[in-house]
Each structure stands twice: as C-alpha cells, then as structure tokens.
A and B are shown apart, each in its own frame.
Chain A
C-alpha cells in the first residue's frame, strides 16, 4: 500500500476536469473483462440480497419454518433425496436436522454479509480518513502521535480481541451493528495510512499553496482542496476492503460470535455445516460457494477499478 501511495500521481483530479478523467477511467474499466464480470456478479448478488423477501416468496419459503417431514429421522436428520433435498419447492435443498430452506437462508444470509461488509466499510472510512487526514495535515507532533496509533491499529491482534468483545457485549445489542463496529474498529489502519500518504504528497502541490496564499482556512484546505484529491485512491482501497470485511464477518460468525439464531449468515451456515460435509455436501456448498462467488466478484471488480484509475501501479498493468 505504501508504495502505491508514494508512487502514484493520483491527484490528477483537480488538474484535469473530472468528467474527462471519469470517462477515461470508465473506458479502461469497460475493456477489463474480469472486472466487468465481477461487477455484473456483484450487482446480481446485491440485487438478490435486496430482494431476498421477494425471491423467497417466489420460491414459496422462508428462513425459519421447519420441514421435518423432508428429513430422514433414522439417519441423523439428513435431508431425504439427492443433493440435500433439492426439489421444486426447495431450490437448493434443506438444512439437516431442521429442514429449513437453504435458498431462503442463503439469500437472507447475503443480506447480513453485505450489510455488515458495507457498514463496516463506512466505519473504516470515517475513522481512517479522519485520522489519516489529521496525521498528514496536522503537523509533526500530530503526525508522530497518530502515526503510532495507526501502527498500533494495524498490528493489533484483531481476531482475539473481536471475539472477546463480541462475547461480553449484552445480547440485546443488535448483532449486525455490533459486528460492523467491532470489525470496523480494528481495521481502519490501512485506510488511515493510505490517506496520510496521499495528504503528505498533495499538501506540497502548487494548487494547495495557491489556496493557502489566497487566505483559505486550514480546515477548508484539508476538506475542499486535499481530500477530493485523495479520495480516488481511498475509494479504490475501500473496494478491496469490502471482500475482506465479508470474510471477517463470516469468520466471526463461523466461530460462533456472530449473528444469533435463527438469523442466518454465510459464516454461521458454514459453521454448522462443517460436520456434515461428508453426509450432506450440499449443505456446505451453498454457503461456501456463495461466499466464494461474492468475494471473488468484489475482488475482481476492485482490482479492475484500481487498474483503471492507475494503470501504472496495477499488477495486471498493460505494459
């Protein structure tokens, strides 16, 4: 990240007009097939999550109703029939020992995964940009102090602390919000460091000096002159953070400190499905492949976006 920060001549934005640059970026992005595929899949998944109630209603199922008549009671409660009980009524089969519909649970699980991933991102961006901006713009002492804080945030043993925190917070606290806060609070360091680097390189630019000479207040310079210049890089980085956040949520839910039953999330589904991987592979595949597809799609898109914004720094750069 740091190398990306120092090397990139990102602040083209204020110099050349935004529309021209945006068109250029879009053109590059459109010609990047993996990125476009990622975008399409991402949009489809997000739409599926948004319209989860509708889609489940079309299937005629919900996330909580038990269908125990579809299970083989003598065989540990495994679904009857092939592929974990796939049928016209249950498009992806049903869950062992409860008979709850997997299609509906996976869709609603997507809602949790996406909501938490985006919500976490908001927390990360607010914290990371604010602290990065203050460090880059605030002078030597502030930079030194905040720089250490950023180091601390990056080197913190996040997982263990997150588990501890999730375990002690009262259960009445809304779980998705808590997950956003916890994951966000431990993962803003990268954003902050990137923002700081951008600010440091931007604040010596001529147009910033011009603004200062024309009597603009420091706050105005920071927010109106420097921040817009730093944003493209930060947003690209945010696109990469998104799949990471999804994996974090899944990981915490997998470890049993995520959402509470009967709410479903992909991580929680995977967690209960692991013991069933030999008896009912479908139960593992549904959340597993969902998570894989979403993370892959986001990553491809984010990668393409970065390449489009800055062809030179891209690992897939067309050299």
Chain B
C-alpha cells in the first residue's frame, strides 16, 4: 500500500538540458599540461551560463539538484556527496560532512551518520548534528518550497510536517550527540546515501536562519562564500577562510575567486569559449553543450577539439505509448513500431554519433544504473520495416495512420528533428505518421496528465541520482500512476509482480548488489514494448584555454567546479 510521491522529471529534464553532461571517462580531462592539486590555488574562474547556476533561490532548502549541483556544492557541504573523480567511479557516493556514507539498520529503514572533526561555518562556529537536522527540517517549511520530494515521502511523519519555524521538531530525525544524526524512514530505502547528497542535507545554523531571508546571505559550510549575488544575473564567490582541505577530501577549491554570469545565449557562450580571449581563457560553463552545427565546425579545428570534454548524464530519449489509447493497447502495434524505428536516423537527427548513442534499453548505458544490454526487438541500426508490416498484418491494422506528439523545439531532443526521423522510418513500414507539435510550456504537462496524454509521443527521462530505482520506478511502478498530473508512468502499466520487485530491490542498501536486479527488471519490462528507447545523449563542452582539470563528472555530467583550476 505504498504510495510514492512522484519523482520529478521536470528537474531531470532541466538537468539534461542545462547541466547534463558527464565525462565518458575520457582522457581529455587534461586541460593543461601540468595540473598539480597541491599547487593549483589562485586566479579567478569565470562561469558563462544561460541560466542561474544556483536555481532561482540560492537557499539549500529550495535548490533541486542532483548530487549537490555544481555551484551549490561549493557553498553547501552535505552529509554525503558525489565522489569527485572522473569516470565511472564518479557515479558513487562519498562521505562529505559525515565519516562514511551512512550505516543502515532495520532493513535500510534507519540510517545513522557521524560528523567528522574540524567542521566550521564561514563565521567559525562549529557545525553540529543539530545544524544538519535544522537544515533538513526547514526544507519542510511551506515558505521554502522547491526542494526534492523524497524526504516528505520517506521520513516517518514527513507527510504532515510543516517545518521547524513554529517550534515543532521532526521526531524521525534524532541527534543523540553533537556528532551523530539518525534518520528513521517509514519504508526501506537502500538509496538513502544518494539522496543525502542533496543540498537539503546541508547544515544551517538556527541562530542565523531568517527563513526566506536566508538566501540573501546563505551561511557557507564549503570552500567559498557568497560575496555578491544578483538573481539570474551574476554571482561572485570568494574563499571561506574557515574551510580547509584538511576537513574536506572532495573539493580542491583551486581558484581564489569565482565569477558567474547568467543570461547569455548558448551560441554566445560557445563562441566566447572557443575564442577564449582575455578573461574567457579562464572560463567554463555549467549549462551549455555544443550543438551539432558547432560540433561540425569545431571538429575540423584541432585546437578547439583539444578543448572539448565529453560526458554522459544517465538519460534516455524514447517514444512513449499510452496503452489506454487505441491502437497502442495492442502489443503487436507497439512491437511493429519498435521494429520499424530507425535509430541511426534518430541519432543523426540530434547530431550524430558524437552527441548520442542508439538505445535499445530503457536504462542508460552506464553500469551505475544496472545497465544490461538487451534488444527485445532486434531490427538492426536502421529498422526492419518488413517485420513491422508482418506484425501490423497480424494485428489487423492496414494503412495505419497515427499522430505523433512532440515538442515544437529541438531543445530537449524531443522536437521536430527526431519526430520527422521517426515519421520517415515508420513510412517504410506503411504507417502514416502525422505530427502534432506542442509548445515548450505545455508539452510536459500534457504528457503527464492521463486525461490529456497523447497515444504516442516523444519523451525523455533522467533520474535524480544514478541508480536503477529512480530511473525505472516512476515510469513502470503501477502505484505511481497519478490521475491528476505529474504522472510519468506513461504506459499506465500496473503489474503487481513488477511493483513487488521494486519494493524488494529498494531494501538492498549495497548499490552494486542492486544493479543486476534493476538490469533484469529493465530487460523484462523491455519485452512489453511499453516504450521504444531511441538514444542516450552524449554531451560535449568547451572550456577556456587556461582551464585545467576540467572533466565532466559522470553523476550529473557537468564540470566539477570544485576540482577545476585556472592557475
């Protein structure tokens, strides 16, 4: 009888567009010839962005990022954090304020953390477990909305808790000592350490908390503190004298100063980074990828090519079916479309093999998610229209005409470019595809409300942390069908056996043990043709010519600003 709070894809989608990128473990993580972590301090790093790197409100309770974010985690340390290394290991959890990633007990329903020694706020006061508890509690306050939804669902009593400002504590968070904090969950959640990377787990000193005013001067626990912040325009960070590397092994904090500028267009950012003159030589971006046209130009210039990093954020672009709409209730029609799709054309439509890899699995092709290769409807890279026609004939569908819904822009790779590629491929199988474009603003809400959900449409999905659970559950857990909107179980698929498997796997607190279970579940679900996976995006980013150690982390696929040097 578990009722899960919807996992927000909107945030994941924003991530994919804005910050999604990750180092494919590439060796290009060598910005300069000589990077020495011991001697990397100094200089000013510039961040050129389209949107704010700190969400709309720079308050740890209100920020919604995966793994702590790029810029927020420079100011807010959290109980755990993503491991700051390039490559596959970057998808794992590392202790941050805590001494380990958490000790589970009671079937992963209780999680205990101990704080490490020498932790201080920017004003020099020591950080205690009470400050972490206060930070989590205040994220329940209705005046500070916008954070992750999981705590409300997971913590005992979380559903009715309205924050600490009226004097009420959340009893499921206990602080037996100044250094110990215990979380009591109402159900097993083996992925708790992943969620403890979120900024809601950052310490907030009760004495300095002015509620909604806290974002005006957020008290830093990380290597930098805020000097000036003009919302949606600029942010300047300077060193926090009370932070030291001795008490933090996950941040190098090389630059003395970080200046971010927001509101630039993607073309301008990439042009400035490629020219790399003046201050732009010390610049990176935390939200702008290379477009296909920019890639085509850069690939002929060896100097620019050298200043490109490549990465993946666990994301899958797919065709979604609403199985409550005819003819998609017929599995043979869904299978026919699965066979007819030309993945090579879809990949080229979004910029080719450097920017996407063809997908036959719903899980992203990264081990952290439990990826196991499978192809339930093997049709080769360009599709098998003959097989598709056979299946349609069996289903009694001749001259099938369908309407494919898509976004009216290609910004999220679910727009006209991919839609026409699908249209053209299905034509080979005798299916007439009409296209219906939805505008940017309404597309997500149309999809996620069963009453307005189209029968077949282009969609995409990324999870809030890199494991199989948050990637699969919102899409395939039958208890997460939400009639009033915010529904990501697009197929409206509800199988008690699958639901039970979700519960069983969530009890596993060792992510490596959980992986094969998620992989097997994905392969089993793939047989049902509830979606047609199309491709996993790859992200390419440029950096200025003085920037060193600019890898894209595998967790979120963005520059790890805490590890970048400009000296």
A residues near B, CB below 8 A? 64-66, 68, 71-78, 96-99, 167, 171, 256, 260-262, 275-276, 278-280
Separation in Å of the B148 CB from the closest CB of chain A? 35
* Cross-interface CB contact of B296 among A77, A99, A261, cutoff 8 Å: A77
In the assembled complex, 9 residue pairs joining A and B whose CB atoms fall closer than 8 Å, in A order, are A66-B424, A76-B294, A76-B295, A97-B349, A171-B436, A171-B437, A261-B416, A262-B435, A276-B293
The winner among A76, A256, A261, A262 for most chain B CB atoms within 10 A is: A76
Closest 3 CB pairs of A and B: A279-B296, A76-B292, A73-B352
- Cross-chain pair count, CB within 8 angstroms: 97
- In the complex, B325 has a CB within 8 A of chain A: no
| CB pair A98 B295 closer than 8 Å | no
State the main secondary structure of chain B at its contact with A: helix
| CB pair B345 A68 closer than 8 Å | yes
Known A-B contacts A77-B296, A275-B267; A66 and B347 likewise in contact (beta carbons under 8 Å)? no
* Cross-interface CB contact of B291 among A66, A256, A260, A275, cutoff 8 Å: A275
| CB pair B439 A167 closer than 8 Å | yes
- In the complex, B421 has a CB within 8 A of chain A: yes
Q: How far is A79 from B264 in the complex, measured between Cα atoms in Å? A: 30
User: A66-B345, A66-B424 are known contacts; what are 13 more A-B pairs with Cβ within 8 Å?
Assistant: A64-B424, A65-B424, A68-B348, A73-B348, A75-B295, A75-B352, A76-B352, A97-B351, A98-B417, A98-B421, A256-B408, A260-B437, A279-B293
Q: How far is A196 from B353 in the complex, measured between Cα atoms in Å? A: 62
Neighbouring A residues of B435 by C-beta, 8 Å: 260-262
Neighbouring B residues of A74 by C-beta, 8 Å: 299, 352-354
Known A-B contacts A97-B351, A171-B436; A78 and B416 likewise in contact (beta carbons under 8 Å)? no
Neighbouring B residues of A75 by C-beta, 8 Å: 295-296, 299-300, 352, 354
Q: How far is A72 from B421 in the complex, measured between Cα atoms in Å? A: 16
Separation in Å of the A298 CB from the closest CB of chain B? 30
In the complex, residue of chain B having the shortest beta-carbon distance to the beta carbon of A275: B293
The winner among A98, A279, A280 for most chain B CB atoms within 10 A is: A279
Separation in Å of the A99 CB from the closest CB of chain B? 8
State the main secondary structure of chain A at its contact with B: loop
Interface residues of B in 270-319 (CB under 8 A from A): 291-297, 299-300
- In the complex, B420 has a CB within 8 A of chain A: yes
- In the complex, B355 has a CB within 8 A of chain A: yes
Q: How far is A64 from B419 in the complex, measured between Cα atoms in Å? A: 12
- In the complex, B344 has a CB within 8 A of chain A: yes
Separation in Å of the A81 CB from the closest CB of chain B? 13
Interface residues of B in 240-284 (CB under 8 A from A): 267
* Cross-interface CB contact of A76 among B267, B293, B416, B423, cutoff 8 Å: B293
Q: How far is A66 from B348 in the complex, measured between Cα atoms in Å? A: 10
Known A-B contacts A68-B345, A276-B293, A279-B297; A77 and B351 likewise in contact (beta carbons under 8 Å)? yes
| CB pair B354 A76 closer than 8 Å | yes
* Cross-interface CB contact of B297 among A68, A72, A98, A278, cutoff 8 Å: A278
Size bin of chain B's contact surface: 35 or more
| CB pair B349 A73 closer than 8 Å | no
Q: How far is A64 from B425 in the complex, measured between Cα atoms in Å? A: 11
| CB pair B420 A76 closer than 8 Å | no
Q: How far is A278 from B291 in the complex, measured between Cα atoms in Å? A: 13
* Cross-interface CB contact of B420 among A71, A78, A98, A171, cutoff 8 Å: A98
Interface residues of B in 428-461 (CB under 8 A from A): 435-437, 439
Neighbouring B residues of A64 by C-beta, 8 Å: 420, 424, 427
Separation in Å of the A55 CB from the closest CB of chain B? 22
Neighbouring A residues of B292 by C-beta, 8 Å: 76-78, 96-97
| CB pair B293 A98 closer than 8 Å | no
Separation in Å of the B53 CB from the closest CB of chain A? 24
Separation in Å of the B454 CB from the closest CB of chain A? 13
In the complex, residue of chain A having the shortest beta-carbon distance to the beta carbon of B409: A256
| CB pair A66 B293 closer than 8 Å | no
Q: How far is A96 from B416 in the complex, measured between Cα atoms in Å? A: 14
In the complex, residue of chain B having the shortest beta-carbon distance to the beta carbon of A99: B348
Neighbouring A residues of B419 by C-beta, 8 Å: 261
Neighbouring B residues of A280 by C-beta, 8 Å: 293, 296
Known A-B contacts A96-B296, A260-B437, A278-B297; A71 and B408 likewise in contact (beta carbons under 8 Å)? no
Separation in Å of the B556 CB from the closest CB of chain A? 23
Q: How far is A99 from B435 in the complex, measured between Cα atoms in Å? A: 20
Q: How far is A228 from B345 in the complex, measured between Cα atoms in Å? A: 57
Binary contact track B409-422/A, C-beta < 8 Å → 1, others 0: 10000001101110
Known A-B contacts A66-B345, A171-B437, A279-B297; A261 and B420 likewise in contact (beta carbons under 8 Å)? yes
| CB pair B349 A77 closer than 8 Å | yes
Q: How far is A276 from B408 in the complex, measured between Cα atoms in Å? A: 20
In the complex, residue of chain A having the shortest beta-carbon distance to the beta carbon of B356: A73
* Cross-interface CB contact of A71 among B291, B352, B437, cutoff 8 Å: B352
In the complex, residue of chain B having the shortest beta-carbon distance to the beta carbon of A79: B296
Separation in Å of the A257 CB from the closest CB of chain B? 9
Interface residues of B in 53-72 (CB under 8 A from A): none
| CB pair A76 B437 closer than 8 Å | no
Separation in Å of the B228 CB from the closest CB of chain A? 34
Q: How far is A66 from B353 in the complex, measured between Cα atoms in Å? A: 17
In the complex, residue of chain B having the shortest beta-carbon distance to the beta carbon of A278: B297
Neighbouring B residues of A68 by C-beta, 8 Å: 344-345, 348
Separation in Å of the B112 CB from the closest CB of chain A? 49
Binary contact track B380-414/A, C-beta < 8 Å → 1, others 0: 00000000000000000000000000001100000
Q: How far is A71 from B420 in the complex, measured between Cα atoms in Å? A: 17
Neighbouring A residues of B293 by C-beta, 8 Å: 76, 78, 96, 275-276, 278-280
